[in-house]
C-alpha cells in the first residue's frame, strides 16, 4: 500500500504561521501534521509515502528525511510541484500520476486523523474508488460536501445545494484494482482544459462518479479534523492531547481512539 499526500500550497489562511512553513509542517502537540500522518500511515502498514510539495520545498525535504530516519521500513519520498503558486491542487495530483501504480491512498496534507479512521478505510469492502466521509448537523461553504445514493457517490463539491447534502469528504480516498487507472485517465482528460489549473482534484472524482461507481465509507464517530484556520489548530491540539491523556504511557502515534473531534 502506498500513500500520496497532497500538500504543495502554503496555507495562506493560517498566516502568519505559514509565512515560512507549509501548514503540513506546523506543530500540533509536539509533532508536525506531516509527522502525525506518517506515523499513523506506517502504523497501519503503509509501505511507501510520497509527499507532493511545493512551497518551501527545502523544509519539506528535511521533514521527509527525518521521517524516513524514524521509519526505515517505510519508503518516504517527496515530489515537487513547481507550479504550486499558480494552480490549485488538481495539478499536484496530476503530477503524481507516475506514482499511481497498484493500490494507493490519496490524502490531503491538512487532514489529521486517528488510526481507526485509516484502519476502517483499509478494511472496507473492496471497491475501485472509495471516498471517506463524515456526517454532521450543519455544513458550511468551505466543507467539501457529498451527495449520495446509498453508499454510492453522486456528486462532490463545495457549492452543492444544502438540502441535497448527505455528508462531507474528509480528504482521504482509497484506489484499488482498476481505480488507479480510472483516476489517471480522468486526470489526463481534465488537464486538457485551461480551467484545470484552478480546479480541485475532487472535481475529477465528481466527474468519475457520473461515469463509474464511486463508493463512500462513513467514519462517523471517529476522530479527525481538517486544518485550514488558526482555530482548527486549537481543535487539533486538543484532540492529540486527549490521545495522550487516555494512555500517557503509550506512544501517541500508536493510539487507536474513537470519538469525533
For the segment 171-216, what is each residue's pLDDT rounded down to a tens digit? 999 999 999 999 999 999 999 998 899 899 999 999 999 999 999 9
**Total count of domains within the chain:** 1
Percentage of residues in the chain with pLDDT exceeding 70?
A: 94
DSSP-assigned letters across all residues of 225-256: EE--SHHHHHHHHHHHHHHHHH-TTS-GGG--
Residue 231 within any structural domain of the chain: yes
For the segment 110-162, what is each residue's pLDDT rounded down to a tens digit? 999 999 999 999 999 999 999 999 999 899 888 999 999 999 999 999 999 99
What is the structure's pLDDT at 247? 56
Q: Domain residues for 42?
A: 2-244
Residue 255 within any structural domain of the chain: no
Residues 20, 56 contacting (CB under 8 angstroms): yes
Residue 259 within any structural domain of the chain: no
SS3 53: strand
Residue 158 within any structural domain of the chain: yes
In 3D space, the residue among 81, 125, 122, 120 whose CA is nearest the CA of residue 99 turns out to be: 81
Bridge partner residues of 107 (DSSP): 5, 172
Residue 252 within any structural domain of the chain: no
Residue 130 within any structural domain of the chain: yes
What is the structure's pLDDT at 208? 96
Residue 150 within any structural domain of the chain: yes
| CATH value at residue 159 | 3.90.550.10
Residue 145 within any structural domain of the chain: yes
Amino acid at each position: 500500500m502506498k500513500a500520496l499526500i497532497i500538500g504543495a500550497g502554503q496555507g495562506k489562511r493560517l498566516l502568519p504561521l505559514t509565512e515560512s512553513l507549509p501548514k503540513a509542517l506546523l506543530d500540533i502537540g509536539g509533532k508536525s501534521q506531516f509527522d502525525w500522518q506518517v506515523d499513523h500511515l506506517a502504523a497501519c502498514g503503509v509501505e511507501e509515502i510520497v509527499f507532493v510539495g511545493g512551497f518551501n520545498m527545502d523544509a519539506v525535504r528535511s521533514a521527509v528525511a527525518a521521517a524516513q530516519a524514524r521509519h526505515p521500513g517505510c519508503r518516504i519520498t517527496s515530489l515537487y510541484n513547481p507550479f504550486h503558486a499558480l494552480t490549485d491542487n488538481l495539478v499536484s495530483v496530476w503530477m503524481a500520476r507516475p506514482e499511481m501504480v497498484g493500490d494507493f491512498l490519496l490524502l490531503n496534507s491538512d487532514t489529521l486523523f486517528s488510526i481507526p479512521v485509516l484502519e476502517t478505510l483499509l478494511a472496507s469492502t473492496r471497491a475501485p474508488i472509495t471516498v471517506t466521509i463524515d456526517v454532521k448537523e450543519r455544513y458550511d461553504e468551505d466543507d467539501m460536501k457529498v451527495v449520495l445514493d446509498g453508499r454510492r457517490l453522486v456528486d462532490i463539491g463545495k457549492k452543492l445545494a444544502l438540502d441535497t447534502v448527505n455528508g462531507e469528504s474528509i480528504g482521504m480516498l482509497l484506489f484499488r484494482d482498476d481505480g488507479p487507472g480510472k483516476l489517471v485517465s480522468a486526470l489526463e482528460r481534465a488537464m486538457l482544459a485551461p480551467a484545470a489549473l484552478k480546479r480541485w482534484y475532487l472535481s475529477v472524482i465528481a466527474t468519475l462518479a457520473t461515469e463509474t461507481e464511486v463508493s463512500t465509507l462513513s467514519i462517523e464517530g471517529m476522530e479527525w479534523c481538517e486544518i485550514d484556520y488558526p482555530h482548527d489548530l486549537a481543535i487539533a491540539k486538543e484532540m492529540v492531547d486527549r490521545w495522550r491523556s487516555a494512555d500517557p504511557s503509550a506512544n501517541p502515534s500508536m493510539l487507536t481512539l474513537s470519538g469525533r473531534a
